[in-house]
Amino acid sequence: MTAFYLPPFVRLGGGALEDLPVALRQAGLRAPFIITDRFMAASGVLERVHALLSGEGFEARAFTDTVPDPTVACVNTALAMLREGAHDCVIGLGGGSPIDTAKMVGVLAVHDTTPARLKAPFVQDAPGLPIIAIPTTAGTGSEATRVTVITDEATDEKMLCMGAAYQPRIAIVDYELTLSMPARLTADTGIDALTHALEAYVSRKASPFTDALALTAMKRIWTHLPACCVEPGNREARAAVMEGAFEAGMAFSNASVALVHGMSRPIGAHFHVAHGLSNAMLLPEITAWSLPGAPGRYAECARAMGIVGREASDAVAGEALVGALRARNAELGVPSPQSFGLDAARWDNLLPLMADQALASGSPANNPHVPTATEIVDLYRRVWA
Q: What is the pLDDT of residue 232?
A: 93
Q: Which CATH fold would you assign to the domain 9-178? A: Rossmann fold (3.40.50)
CATH number assigned to the domain covering 183-384: 1.20.1090.10
- C-beta separation of 134 from 177 below 8 A: yes
Q: Which residues, given as ranges, of the chain have pLDDT below 70?
A: 1
- Name the residue type at position 214: A
- Give kind and range of the element (H or E) at residue 33: strand 32-35
CA gap 283, 91 in Å, rounded: 31
pLDDT at 211: 98
For the chain, the structural domain boundaries read 9-178, 183-384
- The answer to whether 287 and 302 have CB atoms below 8 angstroms apart is no
Rounded-to-integer distance, Cα 237 and Cα 21, Å: 27
Per-residue pLDDT at 4: 84
| Cα distances (angstroms) measured from residue 184 to each of 41, 141, 193, 324, 370 | 21, 18, 14, 19, 31
pTM summary value: 0.94
Residue 368 to residues 90, 105, 203, 258, 371, Cα–Cα distance (Å):
37, 34, 6, 8, 9
- In angstroms, rounded to a whole number, what is the distance separating the alpha carbons of residues 122 and 181? 35
